[in-house]
Amino acid sequence: MDISHVDICCGLAWGDEAKGKIVSQFAKSGKYNFICRWGGGNNAGHTVYVNSIKYKTHLIPCGIFYDIPSIIGPDCVVNIKSFFEEVEYLKQNGFNTSLIKISSKAHIVTDKHIEDDIKELKQKQGTTAKGIAPCYSDKYKRVGKRAGEYADLSYFLWDEKLHGAVLCEGAQGFWLDINYGNYPYVTSSTTLPYGACSLGFSPKLINEIYGAVKIYDTRSGIDTDFPESLFDDEELNKIGEVGKEFGVTTNRRRKVNWLNICKLIKAINVTGTTSLIISKVDVLEQVNIFKLIDADNVIIKFDNMNQMKFYIETIIKKECKNIKDIIFSDSPYQINDKKEYFFNTTI
């Protein structure tokens, strides 16, 4: 059986865009044969609600929550200790961990990688100190170790075959991409959807690209585009508190800023996003503050959420020719899309 089509969910900002929620809901639809992760390591994190119970994962794809084979691809990096801790966590919560598979080509994060990260990169670049950058460095120096070389991973090794409908879940976001982000304050892998082709399929098989973003911007770690002075803004702090803006992996407090609509438009167009899902609408409604950043860093203020939604929809439909759907989500548990046809026509 061949691959029928591939759908991709990618982040359009700096990570933390509710990709886990989106992929989880799509996986729950039962329309996919595989859920795959294509890049990064346990420096990422997903928060997923299954039957109103919160689960947190860092490397293992969301298909595991719905009895779907969950693949960690060849361009991912794997910390073996962290991987087995995550497997045990899922097993204890009743999930079928035999469905988790790792590409034999995925590189292994060693203790030395973590030591080097802590010593050389954490303070300078604000990394998660998980050894990700040193591991990718060894990969590209062609001196790294791969999953296929470790006997304790043999049970989980993937046969490198996909079939039917495939959903790929991204890690981090567009503006953390090694090429497109504010270098060097970026991640060490490709976050754009074309990186998913490293799983072994033709780009011609890509059907839909679901772009995830929040209705305000956040950033974990060091980045000159997100100065420390953002923490001094009373309104932004209020949004951060109501939105519970702390990293899943590091528990670091995230910097909050207004949605930068120009950056979002670029991310949509470069990724080829066909459906845009904007989360945490409920947070701005709770604080009753409605602002975004437009061209030349001008802050535009709206009287209510309907005005803000209309502005966003109008400019994105004008500037982003591939967009078919714009969905505003106001729930941490699901996309909460009232258009039932969305699941019938685009998946």
Inter-residue contact 108 to 150 (CB < 8 Å): yes
Return the sign of the alpha-carbon dihedral for residues 85, 90, 96, 101: negative
Tokens for 306, please give them.
């309907």
Place of tokens 């909460």: 336
Tokens for 115, please give them.
């030591």
Tokens for 138, please give them.
């060894």
The sheet that has 3-11: what strands, in order across it? Answer: 100-102, 70-72, 34-37, 164-169, 3-11, 206-214, 275-279, 325-328
Helix runs in the chain, H state only: 19-28, 80-92, 111-116, 122-125, 132-140, 234-242, 261-271, 281-287, 305-319, 341-345
Query: Which whole-number Å values give the CA distances from 43 to 11, 108, 155, 171, 320, in the listed order?
Result: 15, 13, 24, 9, 31
Inter-residue contact 281 to 329 (CB < 8 Å): yes
Catalytic residues: 16, 46
Output Rg (C-alpha) for the chain, integer angstroms. 19
Q: Does 74 sit behind a cis peptide bond, omega within 30 degrees of 0 on the bond before it?
A: no
Return the sign of the alpha-carbon dihedral for residues 8, 26, 246, 241: positive
* Residue 273 to residue 115: CA distance in whole angstroms: 38
Query: Which whole-number Å values give the CA distances from 41 to 8, 76, 145, in the listed order?
Result: 18, 6, 15
